Amino acid sequence: MNIRTVATAPFNDQKPGTSGLRKKVSVFQSPNYLENFVQAIFDTIAAPAGSTLVVGGDGRYYNREAIQIILRIAAANGFGKVLVGQGGILSTPAASCVIRKYRTFGGIILSASHNPGGPDGDFGIKYNTANGGPAPEKITDAIYARSKALDSYRIADAPGVALDQQGSFSLGGMAVEVIDPVADYAGLMESLFDFEAIRALLKGGFRMCFDAMHAVTGPYAKEIIEKRLGAPGGTVINGVPLPDFGQGHPDPNLTYAHELVEIMYGASAAAFGSAQAAPLSPLPERSRRQPDFGAASDGDGDRNMILGRHFFVNPSDSLAVIAANAALAPGYAKGLAGVARSMPTSGAADRVAAKLGIPCYETPTGWKFFGNLMDAGKVTLCGEESFGTGSDHVREKDGLWAVLFWLNILAKRGQSVEDIVHRHWAEYGRNFYSRHDYEGLPSDAANGLMAHLKSQFASLPGQRFGSYQVKLCDDFSYTDPIDASVSTGQGLRVIFEDGSRIVFRLSGTGTEGATLRIYLEAFEPDAAKQRRDAQEALAGLINIAHELSELKQRTGREQPTVIT
């Protein structure tokens, strides 16, 4: 094997965010850009010679080319074996599953998650450690430090690997095994959930629609939902992964998953229903017009959206409902060790944990913060308001897992999505909750807005805004209870005397400008008042958020890009 050492110069913009390094495709295509970052990863992790690595991605534009480069650099850096998903495909939770099952040294996942794809879209890369989870900050910081000092990288001169053919190949002396990207993950799901009960539900006339959004979960959903669970063909829509996600935005929310929303809410539901093979006669008239259950997942398969008929399940509520009903799934029948949620996620799960007598941890945003808690056996379930829910079965959030958990709950309880959520609110109270995203803001304006907010913190406590009185303000920080590491600057919080709150964060998942996220939460214990529209219930807090942040004056925006 001929190994070349290529002279290079460092790039100054390779600092990983909460989910790895994300840039425009054109940036990654720049000479040495991807090569430098991969070499910085390998220099930092110092894997012993002969180690095994997992590589795969969400199939977006440049995925295949990047994998071939990574394989050649891995061979030059002494790896003994690389497991690659067929076609270059591995959903993020499936990659975590493979890393854990085969006890590899770690893995490289190629994804920009829910960001758009295509030649003009986004690309991303991140390193996951041997536990299957995203590298913690101490590793990503070290990778960044190494990237700024890099003056060369090593790469093998070798032909590319045939990614579309399963089997074992050799690349310059390194073994490359192209694996079925779905099989290991599907087997894990079958071990966690009552597939027999879900099959019976689907055979009994219950209808669902899963929107894969032309992203990575299409093959997974077709294998599990249609093949193993027996849902009619066509239950999975947009199921073929495409490099540009069919020119769509693979973010499973009410704005971007518009086709699914039309099916669950609009006139197109009738056409969807008529195409199903399940018998119509036993179903009430309303069920013939639309599916009972709708779900979607994102670009790399780690996010989910849950819908009933004309009913949206807020991701914060979804985590709480899953926690409250976890014992209905065989893999969780023994009980939960604990629950964890990101700080911006609503406190709905806290109330379930309190009733179950288990701890609930509040962490910064970023799935890597859950890893230590899961590895230490402190939590079983975890979730983020950004449509991410998961458990200790892997070390990533898992969109299809959440969908299957809901199917398990629906099969066992025999109630609709709406009934389950309404009954949950009646028992635990409702945390009215919403997130307003302002995407593509000029970075200077967004940073100025945050600085203005923080400058008011000393004077805000005690002030009254309508019926709300400020109790405290802070910039959230977190001390990890396992390794005592400290994370600061995790979000600006304004908390009111009645427990309501407003949280302001700048997102680290975009590639252009800045995304401001404003999170709003108010608790309502009275069942008679719980079915109001969330935006109506939170109107007072929305106005306060705009007033405190001077949003319109500083950004020119009056309406959010996305409301969830």
Residue 36's CATH number: 3.40.120.10
- The two three-digit tokens of residue 134, written as one number: 């995203």
Closest CA to 423 of 322, 523, 321: 321
Cα(first)–Cα(last) distance of the chain, in Å? 52
Helices within 50-154 (DSSP H only): 63-76, 92-101, 137-147
Same domain? For 285 and 341 the reply is: yes
What pLDDT sits at residue 538?
96
Rounded average pLDDT over 306-335: 97
- Confidence class of residue 285 from pLDDT cuts 50, 70 and 90? very low
Q: Which tens digits make up the pLDDT trace of 55-72?
A: 999 999 999 999 999 999
202-206 own/partner pairs: CB under 8 Å, 24+ apart: 202/229, 202/230, 202/231, 202/278, 203/230, 203/278, 204/282, 205/278, 205/279, 205/280, 205/282, 205/283, 205/287, 206/278, 206/292, 206/293, 206/410
The CATH number of residue 447's host domain is 3.30.310.50
Q: Could you give the 3-state DSSP secondary structure of residue 229? A: coil
- What is the torsion angle, in degrees rounded to the nearest 10, for the CA atoms of residue 509, residue 210, residue 83 and residue 67? -50
Contact 66, 87 (CB under 8 A): no
For residue 494, is pLDDT > 50? yes
Closest CA to 512 of 440, 416, 409: 440
Catalytic residue, chosen from 19, 51, 111, 113, is 113
Please give the Cα distance from 293 to 210 (Å, whole number).
9
What pLDDT sits at residue 562?
86
For residue 288, is pLDDT > 60? no
Rounded average pLDDT over 140-144: 96
Same domain? For 36 and 171 the reply is: yes
Q: Could you give the 3-state DSSP secondary structure of residue 218? A: helix
Same domain? For 163 and 201 the reply is: no
- Confidence class of residue 73 from pLDDT cuts 50, 70 and 90? very high
For residue 362, is pLDDT > 70? yes
Please give the Cα distance from 171 to 284 (Å, whole number).
59
Among 136, 154, 181, residue at a domain's last position: 181
Q: Which DSSP string corresponds to 463-510?
A: -EETTEEEEEEEE--EE-TTT--EE----EEEEETTS-EEEEEE-SS-
Residues 407-427 as b or e (16 or more Cβ within 10 Å = b): bbbbbbeeebbeebbbebbee
More confident residue, 277 or 462: 462
What pLDDT sits at residue 280?
25
Strands 174-179 and 339-342, sheet pairing: unpaired
Rounded average pLDDT over 337-363: 97
Neighbours of 533 (CB within 10 A): 10
Same domain? For 312 and 176 the reply is: no
| Stretch among 221-235, 253-267, 421-435, 538-552 having the lowest mean pLDDT | 253-267
For residue 145, is pLDDT > 90? yes
Q: Which tens digits make up the pLDDT trace of 403-439?
A: 999 999 999 999 999 999 999 999 999 999 999 999 9
Contact 331, 193 (CB under 8 A): yes
Closest CA to 236 of 186, 304, 287, 296: 296
Among 396, 428, 460, residue at a domain's last position: 428
Rounded average pLDDT over 99-109: 98
Please give the Cα distance from 482 to 128 (Å, whole number).
19
Same domain? For 435 and 413 the reply is: no
What pLDDT sits at residue 195?
98
What pLDDT sits at residue 274?
31
Contact 366, 269 (CB under 8 A): no
Same domain? For 194 and 224 the reply is: yes
Same domain? For 292 and 392 the reply is: yes
What pLDDT sits at residue 367?
87
Same domain? For 397 and 435 the reply is: no
Neighbours of 347 (CB within 10 A): 21
Same domain? For 418 and 476 the reply is: no
Please give the Cα distance from 497 to 505 (Å, whole number).
21
Range of the domain at 338: 185-428
Contact 453, 545 (CB under 8 A): no
Same domain? For 94 and 190 the reply is: no
Closest CA to 297 of 359, 225, 355: 225
Among 120, 154, 181, residue at a domain's last position: 181
113 among known catalytic residues: yes
Q: Which tens digits make up the pLDDT trace of 27-43?
A: 999 999 999 999 999 99
- Confidence class of residue 19 from pLDDT cuts 50, 70 and 90? confident
Same domain? For 246 and 328 the reply is: yes
Rg (C-alpha) for the chain, rounded Å, is 23
For residue 272, is pLDDT > 80? no
- Domain count across the chain: 3
Handedness of CA 314, 319, 324, 327 (dihedral sign): positive
What pLDDT sits at residue 553?
96
- Confidence class of residue 510 from pLDDT cuts 50, 70 and 90? low
Same domain? For 78 and 212 the reply is: no
What pLDDT sits at residue 525?
94
What pLDDT sits at residue 279?
28
Neighbours of 313 (CB within 10 A): 20
Please give the Cα distance from 364 to 222 (Å, whole number).
34
Distances (CA, A) of 233 to 90, 199, 320, 477, 513: 23, 14, 31, 48, 41
Closest CA to 186 of 260, 93, 281, 100: 93
What order of strands is seen across the sheet that includes strand 311-313?
236-237, 208-211, 293-297, 304-308, 311-313
What pLDDT sits at residue 267?
60
